[in-house]
Structure 1
Amino acid sequence: MTAPLADHRAPLPRPTRLSEVKGWFFTADQLLFDWFLAHQQAAGHRGDLLELGAYLGRSAIFLGARLGDGERFTVCDLFDSPAEDASNTEEMAKSYATLTRRAFEANYLAFHDTLPDIVQDLSSRVRDHVADGSVRFAHIDASHLYEHVHGDILAVRSLLTGTGVVVLDDFRAEHCPGVAAATWQAVTNEGLHPVCITGTKFYGTWGDPEPLRTALLAWLAGREGVWHEVQQVNGAPLIRISAKDAREPAHPVSRYRPAQGTRAPEHVPAAGRRGPARGPLRRLAADWLPPAVTRALVAARRQRAARR
């Protein structure tokens, strides 16, 4: 019996940093994803996460590390499947010729122990797989065609909780006028409230935007390297944000994060350690290396110290 073709394919390279995963997920948006998700959790707003359009997984990897207990993360993408209309098929062939589910899964599993719930289907069918009113944070980055983006926005409106946040990618890119049209139509006609924008993404809610705007402005006031201003759009404030000089946030990816109820790896006390105090590189290693590796390194250091 011939083995499946997948068994003979060479393994894909495993990225070790989020920056090694191809995609367009810039510092300002990493900071904002982090802030919105943390703010929701601090406020007790529970719910699932959703991404429509995953490319090779860069933003999905980021989102997957921020799931709360009992929350579900769903990724919906066509991956290798053919689109059902000629225009969408042409767009996929032109923009995502190397896109495969296998590459997405390999990238995601380089950082996480388990995959999200993957729906390999048209984004228009996401409501067949996700319950209405269950999602607290949704990222729309699938088709760039107006009809599809408009449908994705309406679907997400039904899927979000009352305090849920939606993020729309490429809302101002010159090659994606359909995204811009669908986004601002949702603002003027569908009750979507803008909260903030970056150079690539729009953040909004169908809930009350004022608590989000107020909390976000307070956070921005203390952020080094992040510029912002407030403009009036459609009779309401809109925060414009740029983070060209900011540092990317830390990435607490699940496989390198101590499980709940377990102790973090032990470190040699400063008083019993020779050499300089623990610096940034050592802190980074402790934060990112698997606990078993960290414990082995600590044990080796202790053995060397005992022989001195």
Structure 2
Amino acid sequence: MSDAHTAVRDGAPGLPAGATAPPHRLDDVRGWFPVLDQVLFAWLLDRQEAGGARGDLLEVGVYLGKSAIFLGRHLRPGERYTVCDLFEGDAPDDANRAESTKSYATLTRRAFETNYLAFHDELPRVLQGPSSLVPGEVPPGSCRFVHIDASHLYEHVHGDIGAARDALLPDGIVVLDDFRSEHTPGVSVAVWEAVLNRGLRPICLSTQKLYGTWGDPGPVQEDLLAMVRGRDDCHLSVQQAAGHRIIRLKAKREMRAPAFPLSRYGREAREAREDVPAEPTPLPHQPVPAPPAPAAKASPPRRPRSRARRVVIDLLPPLVTRALVKARTACRPTAR
């Protein structure tokens, strides 16, 4: 068991070179694994498994583990998963050494293992060294799926393609990265040379990867066309080149990656959030009743007229009576 494995099991892996924080989701792992390729990996691997195909998995060139983590989820009991990378090891030649220094200076094996073990209980079999180790370590005809994403130099890619051909089962699938990037002409030359002269038969092309087989691509292409035509998030075209049918795919903006479980860090964070007592639900707003309006001030009771006064008023002439009433009213205090 490696130091990285022990550290992760103890829950204190630290931050190895090349890692910025413990990954909670697959997207937190640095690397190049576009959504369309995640969809294609998942579909091809699921198709193999549904069809009863058995065989090992191989990835050559893992960087910090993004695609390796994804691929490892499809490892089934009795199968073996091997990954190969230089990590911080010595390159086999000056050109490869310059390439590694320029593009992968921060890559370490511990960073890869820490990321991988955040999502899986066990590491794959790790070959640390040049991809030329693969033919001597992976038995011929043992693999159902091989992903090549290592050196961009023609000589190395040529050898990696040969190693993949030897390692694959008759209907196994190889995925070759960077077959069309302007900064990787060596990969382009080696890939199309394999199509033209070494029996590799294309299945489909994504933006960055060529998917192929040394078996019959027809059945998987028909199933792939049916799958893609049932989606509305992927551009599709079918072309012919040098006697090969080539399916070209490009993701639309709305394409979403397949669901992938949280890492153990993500699960711990979610569980911690669920343990926090919920804030009490506020009661519905109750309007404060308005204070009662002050009671109207009662007018002072009118004093009843005396009997004698009533008699006098009744006996006086009306003109005199009206004058007396008017004078009395004028003498009353005005209400304020």
Asked if TM exceeds 0.5, the reply is yes
Given that residues 65 and 254 in structure 1 are in contact (C-alpha distance below 8 angstroms), is that contact kept between their aligned partners in structure 2? no
1:42-90 deviations in Å (ceiling 9; x for gaps): 1111111100000010000100111122111110001010102100000
Q: Which of 90, 93, 96 is matched with 1:85 structurally?
A: 93
TM-score normalised over the length of structure 1: 0.80
Q: 1:108 — aligned with what?
A: 116
Given that residues 118 and 263 in structure 2 are in contact (C-alpha distance below 8 angstroms), is that contact kept between their aligned partners in structure 1? no
Given that residues 84 and 130 in structure 2 are in contact (C-alpha distance below 8 angstroms), is that contact kept between their aligned partners in structure 1? yes
Call closer, same or farther: CA 1:161–1:252 in 2, change over 3 Å: farther
Q: Does 1:194 align with 2:202?
A: yes
Output the aligned Cα RMSD. 2.5
Q: 2:257 — aligned with what?
A: 248
Length, aligned pairs only: 263
Q: 1:166 — aligned with what?
A: 174
Q: Does 1:68 align with 2:76?
A: yes
- Look up the equivalent residue of 2:39 and give its one-letter code: L
Q: Does 1:143 align with 2:172?
A: no
Q: 2:47 — aligned with what?
A: 39
SS of 2:120 mapped into structure 1: coil
Identity among equivalent positions (%) equals 55
1:251-307 deviations in Å (ceiling 9; x for gaps): 147979xxxxxxxxxxxxxxxxxxxxxxxxxxxxxxx847x959x969x99xx9xxx
Unpaired stretches in structure 2, ≥5 consecutive residues = 1-5, 281-336
Call closer, same or farther: CA 1:178–1:289 in 2, change over 3 Å: same
1:144-166 deviations in Å (ceiling 9; x for gaps): 00000000001110000011000
Larger Rg, first or second structure (1 or 2): 2
Offset of 1:224 from its aligned partner?
Answer: 2.6
Q: Deviating runs (4+, > 2 A) in structure 1?
A: 6-13, 252-256
Unpaired stretches in structure 1, ≥5 consecutive residues = 1-5, 257-287
Call closer, same or farther: CA 1:56–1:210 in 2, change over 3 Å: same
Matches within 5 A, 1:133-282: 133-245=141-253, 246-252=255-261
Q: Does 1:94 align with 2:102?
A: yes
TM-score normalised over the length of structure 2: 0.73
1:11-53 deviations in Å (ceiling 9; x for gaps): 4431001111111100110000001100111111111110000
Partner Cα distance (2:181, 2:163) in 1: 23
Q: 1:123 — aligned with what?
A: 131
